[in-house]
Structure 1
């Protein structure tokens, strides 16, 4: 499942057709740590947006911005620690460092998208890495999400310090992840697959007093 190009790199489809069913990073956790239902008392709701396409883009901002705009119709975020997204909010790009961005798209799009971006970038100096299999995204919503986050990270999540559209890499529950706030009421955790069970169990424990519920 590779495509050799003139630039001497291999483009692999990380989501090939197979008879083996794919499972989300939290599938084991749901079975072994429980799946508390959402109720009227739930002041925090957790849901995993599994199997999304995650691409790391590295290179010059101007060149990458032009390519992303050409392929997706919106550009890179203009300021550090921020994110931009399409009109529907399904596709986003987040600033990670001066020459590094995280692009998240609906699952199944990433392979074709990587090819289109490489074509648009041509001979420019850049790198694109598909990290979809190693990451997952967890959403948190509810009136007590900020209180839950304050238990979990030293980063200031007050609205004055963490407005809508911000995203940072930070320490969270003695691990690390990307914390994002794409909308007024929704927060997102982008975490490594290897930390997924640990973070899930932490959130269930820290969210117990808020009657945290999980939408699987």
Structure 2
């Protein structure tokens, strides 16, 4: 599967150090989906893969991803260019069922935090244990980063996706850059 979270072409990284980097990602289609078992099965059919049912997990395939956010809530991701078709397919799948599908594509953005000190940098503002045994590759959670609500997804041992509301992103990035200055001084 092609990676959904790709750096914005031609845009310099927000931060580039030997131990860590932060890059803004290209826009994505983002749908907030809520529904019970029947609606979940219908959405799985539209996605081409089953929604993750295990807390703190993600599933992907067919160029899309689904992040588990709660017992009946998922963040559905797809390439931005296919937003209208993606939204139409999900809405058609749940037609007549008790479900909610909301386009939140313009509400949030994401950054990639990568490098051998990525977990250290993220822990400067995220109050959960990001050591690999406690937060393994593939784990996803809704949490706080410097008082802003975020979604954090560990994509690799040394790479995190940090999703947050666009209006909070400058605040979150400012605090991460401050922490990175401390890291570079250490």
Fold match (TM-score > 0.5): yes
1:169 match: 142
- The Cα shift of 1:210 comes to 4.4
Structure 2: gaps of 5 or more residues: 1-7
Q: Deviations over 1:83-118 (max 9, x none)?
A: 11116xx42111111111101111122221111112
Aligned pair count reads 175
Q: What is the alpha-carbon distance in structure 1 between the residues aligned to residue 55 and residue 38 of structure 2?
A: 17
User: Displaced runs of 4+ in structure 1, greater than 3 A?
Assistant: none
After TM superposition, give the deviation of residue 184 of structure 1 in Å.
Answer: 2.8
Counterpart check, 1:96 vs 2:72: no
Q: Does 1:78 align with 2:78?
A: no
1:54 equivalent in structure 2: 30
Alignment TM-score, normalising by the size of structure 1: 0.74
Q: Is the 8 A contact 1:44 1:210 kept in 2?
A: no
Q: Which residue of 1 aligns with 2:118?
A: 145
1:127, distance to aligned residue in structure 2 (A): 0.6
Q: Which runs of no fewer than 5 residues in structure 1 stay unpaired?
A: 1-23, 212-216
State the structure with bigger RCO (CA 8 A, min sep 6), 1 or 2.
1
TM-score computed with the length of structure 2 as normaliser = 0.85
Q: Could you give the per-residue CA deviations for residues 25-59 of structure 1, whole angstroms, max 9, x where no partner exists?
A: xx9xx8xxx955x4xx5211111113211100011
**Correspondent of 1:63 among 9, 17, 38:** 38
d(CA) in 2 for partners of 1:170, 1:147: 16
| SS of 2:39 mapped into structure 1 | helix
CA distance in 1: counterparts of 2:97 and 2:149, whole angstroms: 32
Contact 1:168/1:179 (<8 A) preserved: yes
8 Å contact from structure 1 (residues 82, 166) kept in 2 = yes
